[in-house]
Amino acid sequence: MSERYLGGFITASYTGLKVPDAPTIGTATAGNTTASVVFTAPSNSGANSITSYTATSNTGITSSNTSSPIAFTGLTNDIAYTFTVKATNSFGSGPASAASNSVIPAAPTGTLAEYLVVAGGGGGAGGGGGAGGLLTAGPGTATFTGTYTVTIGAGGNQNAQTSGNAGPGINSVLTGYTPIGGGYGAGGYTVSNGGNGGSGGGGSIGSQSAAGVASGGTATSGQGFAGGVATNPGTYLGWVAAGGGGAGGVGASATGYDTGGPGTFAGAGGAGAASSITGSSVTYAAGAQGYYNTYGADGTVNSGNGGSGSRTAQAGSQGWNGGSGVVIIAYPTSYPALSSIGGGLTYDQPSRSGYRVYRFTAGTGTITF
């Protein structure tokens, strides 16, 4: 406090009236060498607006932010920490809050790993099959401990373009992660919508049905994209079929009709997604093209790709089967090998420097970390 006489009166200025009051401390939480401190701003910000907040640990470490919460990194695991918070404006810092609860950062228990789980792709008929749903997480983003069930989903069966819809892909499973099988490619002498799934199958309009619009199948959120839409805008002369969706993009729509040569009546499949979890880049879960003049193909084994729609010169005009799914887990060699792998599972171990990689390609069973 400073004082001076002015006309017989004492005037005083208090720095304490200019800085903010103490924030109200909330709950502190801890992670692996990290902590987060929650607080409530004071109702009295002093003579000017608050510009920052600073948290201080009982060990003297500080961290700042402009709002709650305040994050700490680089803490020492297995050490107890408490925190206080001060508010600052242009006049300075106010008093500290009460101390927070005590927290102890700790390394996670279990194995820090990455994974790729892909369901079986949908089969093709007229429309192309949708890709199996794809779920993935990068290095060190998932923690595994204990026993997990693994199931590899089969691809959906093909069907002749004139006979009806193809079969959907089958879900794959890694306990806690279940991508949905790919949607079937539509078929039959009718206006047929593509099947829903991880990615949607392509819509299809048969050569003996009226003009119309066949929707593509919808996708499962976070797992893939929708199938394409088939549209015949007028006088119908032949087939029109859209592509199945993939993990990286929607299936192409198709508008027009089959005149016996290349045209707009066939939609391409949606793009897949590349992953280097095995140590080399591989593309998974691509959608398949709709009915076309060239040969189609089954979805590649363990790709989750959709099966192509049929082709004009093929006997029986059959579509193609969807590709089976796959489950891949990779983690640093500093962690031990899996302690058990169920006999019902088929797997191999691709070579990736510094990592243990398990690629499960068929069957169902349990694995234990």
* Structure token pair of residue 63: 């961290």
* Residues in a beta bridge with 318: 160
110 falls in which pLDDT band (50, 70, 90)?
confident
- pLDDT of 16: 56
310 falls in which pLDDT band (50, 70, 90)?
confident
CB 54 within 8 A of CB 10: no
Tell me the average pLDDT across 158-171: 93
| pLDDT greater than 60 at residue 9 | no
What is the pLDDT of the chain when averaged over all its residues? 90
Q: What is the DSSP string of 295-363?
A: ---PPPTTTTPPPPPPBTTSGGGB--PPPP-EEEEEEETTSPPPSEE-TTEEEE---BTTEEEEEEEEE
| pLDDT greater than 80 at residue 3 | no
| pLDDT greater than 90 at residue 293 | no
pTM of this prediction?
0.72
Tell me the average pLDDT across 157-179: 95
Across the beta sheet with 24-30, the strand order is 24-30, 35-40, 70-72
The SS3 assignment for 115 reads: strand
- pLDDT of 221: 97
| Domains present along the chain, CATH in parentheses | 2-93 (2.60.40.10), 109-369 (no CATH)
Side-chain-side CA neighbours of residue 47 (13 Å): 11
Q: What is the DSSP string of 4-67?
A: EEETTEEEEE-GGGTSPPPPEEEEEEE-SS-EEEEEE--S--TTS---EEEEEETTS-EEEESS
Cα–Cα distance list, 50 to 22, 258, 344 (Å)? 11, 69, 62
Q: Which of 59-63, 212-216, 239-243, 289-293 has the lowest mean pLDDT?
A: 289-293
- pLDDT of 194: 98
- pLDDT of 11: 41
236 falls in which pLDDT band (50, 70, 90)?
low
6 falls in which pLDDT band (50, 70, 90)?
very low
CB 349 within 8 A of CB 357: yes
Tell me the average pLDDT across 172-195: 95
